[in-house]
Chains A and B, each alone.
Chain A
């Protein structure tokens, strides 16, 4: 008699998932910073440094350079969109209470909404560097999002459904065949672009355009954007784990989740190493790289369709 543990109520999963993402995202961000520091022979900040940053920013002065609604709404929409993405995301194979209300296409559109909010904030902040960053951010998004979608699409083709739980967890890993292996490789090669880290931190490029879209934001507004980026980063690192690594099928959702989180931490180690050892691409170089990945991913989809 342990129904609570076998199948926790969906609403609990919504809040549980939100809590996991909100708590772990800054921690994983800390891993990247620590790894980068070690590669550069520094001690590095504590693992919780990203939390400290957020707390500090929340109390700082909120400077408003635009005075318009889009400028003020942008951080809210960005953060809200990623919260919604997390809320509909099934937890280790179990649908949350909100999963039955948004399918894979809705998920992609919600993810895009976050990017749109960043852009809107950048446009509204009237800063030239923000505009340059926004332009690069959107260019990256156009190219990278279909790649993310094609990773999910393999599951759609195998199961004939757009329900997120089925799409992500419905196909045993071995049934993906060679297109699955190609797609796993694609997702690893696209990882840095998904999370916006070197060599693909083109939109923010601190040394060059000083944070790009976020340039005019400060204090709590910036904290929301930061938090949004961290959660988004964790989502993108978690997704390949969820799609390609089979669940243990443990009775308790917690075991599966712990394993997934450990694997996600490993992915973050990889992200940290890659970003510490790679210089930034120019946007035109990145475009060619993405186009190559896009074609390979399309090829894998074609393989799954016609093989």
Chain B
């Protein structure tokens, strides 16, 4: 009962914000502050709820909310709580960032009434998606609130017909996705409005095989569209994410597309009843893993081709979602194999997928915020025109460096351990895992492409040179209001990278207490928890018979620091003199746009080689 009232109190605060904040919209900063305070208050109540569940002090709870004739079932368990925590954290930081960001010169003559109406509703919709327990009425209300609110947020800059078109496309595809899910749920035997998930799972068990396959396909399709799965993600995600104001992009990429993953995990781990034959269930995981590996490869290669910073991040969201889908698919495939070795690897894969999801929420959110700051300060997000911001915007550069290192999976940053888990779980299966091993090789190769892309992003925007001759001269660091959320997120990214043990234990705990999930027995098994040992230094997986894998980010970091001290000693050992000198420009007097090597030229040979993957940028 208490859980129910906490949830409703949070939702009521968001609705209150939607009613009150637009009235203040003429006072732009005041409205921003009010929006933040409401979001913070709502986020605190969701956060407390999530903390209570995740810390294990209260079990998950399901309840039914009666709205007149209509009954909407809710379920808040550990898995929902994780998403609640992510939505609250990212929502509050994005709301804080909006206070400063919406003052950007380009936005100054746009009224903010609609923006502050839609912002809290968007968050409320996402909270709804991860707490309602049906796929009919409650799901529809939550999905449509989320979709419509985000539609208006994406088309905020509505004087640009391009952006309106992107938003319309987004709206259309989200309706298609909604249709897929609702039709799938309606096709389940003995389902009706307000049937909770566990009853739907039983219904699926009773359905005959072809019908069941069609239902699963529709569910994967619907949630896959939301999650940006290839080829459907490409249709809407890059356009929508690059059109929205940056804090909204951070929420879209950081949390909203994760609701698709939420749906897929619920489908794969809660809605495959024991009546479903093992091979049938496994095929579902294998299909998802196949889509995952294609998504991660194609999405990332397409991202490499972009020189618009926000489109680059957006395509990478598709790519990173591919990693998550691959992990979830292979986890389910391993789980249902009945092979104890693969069972342990299923734990690693699922934990890796969820860990990557949490990491991605933060580092991708941070990347969009830093790009927003760059756009705020310089007026452009085109990497061809940027360069040399390191000295002009040092703190933004610092945050962007941490976020880039995180997504690239540089050792000890977040992304390193989660990718280790995803790739490692695929490789260690060996012959029993079959084709998943090859998928892991592709995933490893793709992580080098991600790295290439983010070296380019950071290198071209912050290191290098160029902004001084392309854009205005008086570029200054953004103010405190925009720096604070970025630095907080950067710190959180570091924590995620340095202390994998905490997160691995957390995610194992979530599934060990996940009632009704096919993964619960395996995760709750003491043998599993013994096999996946965590310590302050990192994570160690012991498969028995000599099979081990381990990752120790803090030790690697310490070794790197010691080695750097040694290198620095070597560098100064000759006591050489230091001198500053300008770059030699091969005879050119000054560098300018005509004699420089811009972002579009970088990796030109590779981009040409990968032309067939699509997502090509004209002139690049």
Contact = CB atoms under 8 A, between A and B. Distances in A.
B23 interface: no
B563 A83 contact: yes
- Most A CB within 10 A of own CB, among B434, B459, B567, B608: B567
B5 interface: no
A37 interface: no
B583 A126 contact: yes
B391 A68 contact: yes
Q: Is the interface of B mostly helix, strand, loop or mixed?
A: helix
B445 interface: yes
A270 interface: no
A221 B549 contact: no
A158 to B, nearest CB: 8
Contacts of A157: 427, 430-431, 437
A89 B161 CA distance: 57
B411 A305 contact: no
- Contact-residue bracket for chain A: 35 or more
B564 A77 contact: yes
A302 interface: yes
Contacts of B559: 84, 87-88, 98, 101
Contacts of B437: 153, 157, 301, 305
Interface string A41-73: 000000000000001011111111111111100
A229 B161 CA distance: 51
A156 interface: yes
A10 interface: no
B424 interface: yes
A149 B408 CA distance: 17
Interface residues of B, number: 84
B552 A58 contact: no
B579 A224 contact: no
Contact of B441 (A69, A88, A170, A301): A301
A283 B605 contact: yes
A150 interface: yes
B502 to A, nearest CB: 19
Most chain B CB within a 10 A radius of its CB, from A70, A106, A122, A288: A106
Interface string B558-587: 011101101110111111111111111110
Contact of A105 (B423, B566, B575): B423
B409 interface: yes
B163 interface: no
B70 interface: no
Contacts of B574: 55, 57-60, 219-220, 223
A298 interface: yes
Interface string A89-117: 00000000010111101101110110010
Interface stretch (B170-178, B265-273, B594-602): B594-602
Nearest to A285: B605
A67 B394 CA distance: 13
Nearest to B411: A109
B386 to A, nearest CB: 12
A80 B603 CA distance: 26
Contacts of B409: 109
A145 B545 CA distance: 29
B206 interface: no
Contacts of A145: 445, 448
A253 interface: no
A134 B451 CA distance: 13
B555 interface: yes
A102 B595 CA distance: 44
Contact of B603 (A135, A305, A306): A135
Contact of B455 (A123, A160, A219): A123
Given A135-B602, A146-B448, A283-B605, A65 B581 contact: yes
Given A127-B584, A161-B547, A224 B430 contact: no
Nearest to A87: B559
11 contacts: A59-B575, A61-B578, A77-B564, A101-B550, A105-B444, A122-B459, A124-B463, A161-B548, A220-B573, A223-B570, A223-B571
Interface of A: 55, 57-71, 75-77, 79-81, 83-84, 87-88, 98, 100-103, 105-106, 108-110, 112-113, 116, 119-120, 122-129, 131-132, 134-136, 138-139, 141-142, 145-146, 149-150, 153, 156-157, 159-163, 166, 170, 216, 219-221, 223-224, 227, 283-284, 287-288, 291, 298, 301-302, 305-306
Given A105-B424, A134-B455, A156-B428, 13 more contacts: A59-B574, A67-B580, A68-B391, A76-B567, A80-B567, A122-B459, A124-B464, A125-B583, A127-B585, A156-B427, A163-B548, A284-B605, A284-B608
Nearest first, the 7 A-B pairs at minimum CB distance are A123-B459, A58-B574, A80-B563, A59-B574, A162-B549, A83-B563, A146-B445
